[in-house]
Amino acid sequence: MKRMFEGTTVLCVRRGGKVAMAGDGQVTLGDKVIKATARKVRSLKNGRVLAGFAGSTADAMTLLERFETKLNEQNGNLLRAAYSLVRDWRLDKALRQLEAMMLVADADQTLLLSGAGDVLEPEGEASSIGSGSGYALAAARALLMATDWDAEKIARVSLETAAEICIYTNKSITLEVIGS
């Protein structure tokens, strides 16, 4: 049986001209924590684009590097870079085997990318991927309705909430923000 590195929670929140993306730091192999401080969220294009990944670590890193290349080729155009990456991911024999998902965002939009050929723009001000995504997303949506907190605080508290529930999510949070 193939044992994969798994588990992650990545959340993107938009509010008041800010975009915050947060990811936990836990990497597991089966029932063991292999690393507690992995960095699963990155800032790209001089802080104009955020990218987070979930899934097999090596696969996700490969996709992140390719996405950054596509961003450069497309002069920072998020949607074109996303379509270009997903097309390669779906059609290339080696890339097709990669098991990961990505959440990418710029000041204007958030996109969810998958190897199944998906380029989805989630609805609402929050979106998430990974094993704890349902918990983080529910917390973010509740906080967006019930508080006037900024995107950064909502993302952090939502990830901390997910870490209380999901065994594959921890409180070692990387948080990147676009906007003022």
In the numeric block, the tokens 């979930």 are attached to 54
Side chain identity, residue 113: L
Q: Are strands 9-15 and 126-130 parallel, antiparallel or unpaired?
A: antiparallel
pLDDT at res. 23: 96
pLDDT at res. 3: 39
| Residue pLDDT, tens place only, 70-122 | 999 999 999 999 999 998 888 877 777 777 889 999 999 999 998 788 899 99
Taking residues 129-138, report their average pLDDT. 95
Confidence band of 6 (pLDDT split at 50, 70, 90): low
Distance CA 111, CA 144 (A): 19
| Residue pLDDT, tens place only, 25-61 | 998 887 888 889 989 999 999 999 999 998 877 777 8
Q: 5-175 maps to which CATH number?
A: 3.60.20.10
Cβ–Cβ under 8 Å, residues 52 and 12: yes
Is the pTM higher than 0.85? yes
pLDDT at res. 30: 79
**Domain boundaries in the chain?**
5-175
C-beta neighbour count of 75 within 10 angstroms: 9
Residues tagged active-site: 8
Side chain identity, residue 6: E
| Residue pLDDT, tens place only, 135-158 | 999 999 999 999 999 999 999 999
